[in-house]
Amino acid sequence: MIIAVRGITPVIGTDCFIAENATIAGEVVMGDQCSIWFNAVIRGDVHYIKMGNKVNVQDGAVIHCTYQTSPTEIGNNVSIGHNAIVHGCTLHDDVLVGMGSIIMDDCVVESNCIIAAGAVLTKGTHVPAGSVYAGMPARKIKDIDPTLSDGEIKRIANNYILYSSWFK
């Protein structure tokens, strides 16, 4: 479902897959080769949401923002895992947000990072480039190594382009 809010209609790039029961509303701008999966919600009703290319928002994930104060900006090659919540924050390029994790307002996740499944980044957390964060509240557990970067972040982003092709 793609819904205009306050006269603003979502803008969707080329070669994207949107599941039939996903919801995209309001001031949302999405790049190319993105995939929005079943029951995912991207709600740009109270502020804007900008997404780069090759972003996948997996089943049940929610992307939202905070009225007039905290938009959501997502870079390229970002995977947002099943049932994750991404709220009023900034995710740079090449980020993997694990299943069920929560990223709160005013957080910044720099490039080449993994947020582990179930992690909770509290308001204003800054995740430096090349980090793996886990826990509740989330803390840095290690620096990312090339195996994780290529084997997880890039692999998952590329796999979701393949998976979405099966539904187009």
What total number of domains does the chain contain?
A: 1
Query: Is residue 76 within 8 Å of residue 136, measured between CB atoms?
Result: no
Mean pLDDT in residue range 94-122: 98
Per-residue pLDDT tens over the stretch 51-102: 999 999 999 999 999 999 999 999 999 999 999 999 999 999 999 999 999 9
The single-letter code of the amino acid at 22 is A
Encoded amino acid at 134, one letter: A
Token digits of residue 161: 């382009």
Query: In angstroms, how far is CA 85 from the centroid of its own chain?
Result: 8
Which structural domain, as residue segments, surrounds residue 84? 2-165
CATH code assigned at 64: 2.160.10.10
Cα–Cα distance, 108 to 110 (Å, whole number): 6
Give pLDDT tens digits for 11-41.
999 999 999 999 999 999 999 999 999 999 9
User: What are residue 80's DSSP bridge partners?
Assistant: 57, 97
